[in-house]
Amino acid sequence: MSAAAFIVIAIFTLAGAIAAATMPRLIHAALSLVLAFIGIAAFYFLLGAEFVGLVQIFVYVGAVAVLIVFTILLTRRGQEDTRGFSWGGVVVAIAVFCGLVWAILHTRVSDAAPQIDPLTVKRIGEVLMTNYVWPLQCVGLLLTAALIGALILVAEEKR
Amino acid sequence: MTPTLTIFLILSAALFCIGLLAALSRRHAIFILIGIDLMLAAANVNFVAFWRFSPEPAQPTGVIVAIFSIAIAAAEAAVGLALVIAVYRHYRTTNVDKLNQLKG
């Protein structure tokens, strides 16, 4: 893990996230969100979890971002100005950030990263199919339920 | 100098708070969903960072939890955006301040 790569990715990710949170136009915010998600995937690569990084890119950049863009497209007509921005949220967010940083700095954590063998997809597959097979089934059920629920929610009502 | 666990935790705290800012201060429903997605992603960074710096990285628990969490975030985004479309059909707006019919 090199410090230069970390700093570059951190600036990239935080800039994308801040742009996603504060851009006035919705479509710009959605595209900035893609930048932030790619930066987070780069963090996973940096941390040695390549598979999670790939899943992050597939799911967030490939699916969630496209879903958000489609929703923006479908809810655009007759859109009034929705640029309201309340400063109470800023105060709460900064307070939460200060609290979290205080807690992190006052916790003793092991900062030495141990040497690891690369985490292969084979190993992840083995663990998913042995120790975590029931959570895997539950997630499958949840995804099916979410798919059916989303379809029912957006289906046209019968006249 | 290599990045330490503390730096990763502070970075994910910053991401979480940016997501919180988007969820709390914007009035548009899609912005609120964007904020929730950012918060979930920040939590995932924590899982993977704790796995990498744990004394036993041979056990990939943090990675597995992060994968499950990404799957659940996908389900959340699908249902949330479907709700936004359903609300838009009824009220012709996605501004959450205008959806006040349950107010007494």
Min Cα distance A25 → chain B (Å) is 10
What pLDDT was estimated at residue B70?
Answer: 93
Class of domain B5-91: mainly alpha
How do the domains of chain B map onto residue ranges?
A: 5-91
Min Cα distance A98 → chain B (Å) is 9
pLDDT per residue over A96-141, tens digit each? 999 999 999 988 877 777 777 778 888 888 988 998 999 999 999 9
Quick check: B43 and B70 in contact, CB under 8 A? no
Q: Over B35-97, what HEC string results?
A: HHHHHHHHHHHHHHHHHHCCCCCCCCHHHHHHHHHHHHHHHHHHHHHHHHHHHHHHHCCCECC
Per-residue pLDDT band at A77 (split at 50, 70, 90): low
Per-residue pLDDT band at A25 (split at 50, 70, 90): confident
A105 touches chain B (CB under 8 A): yes
The DSSP secondary structure of A103-139, one letter per residue, reads HHHTS----PPPP-----HHHHHHHHHHTTHHHHHHH
Interchain contact, A82 vs B28, CB within 8 Å = yes
The interface predicted TM-score (ipTM) is 0.90
pLDDT per residue over B23-80, tens digit each? 988 888 888 999 999 999 999 999 999 888 888 777 888 899 999 999 999 999 999 9
What pLDDT was estimated at residue A83?
Answer: 59
B71 touches chain A (CB under 8 A): yes
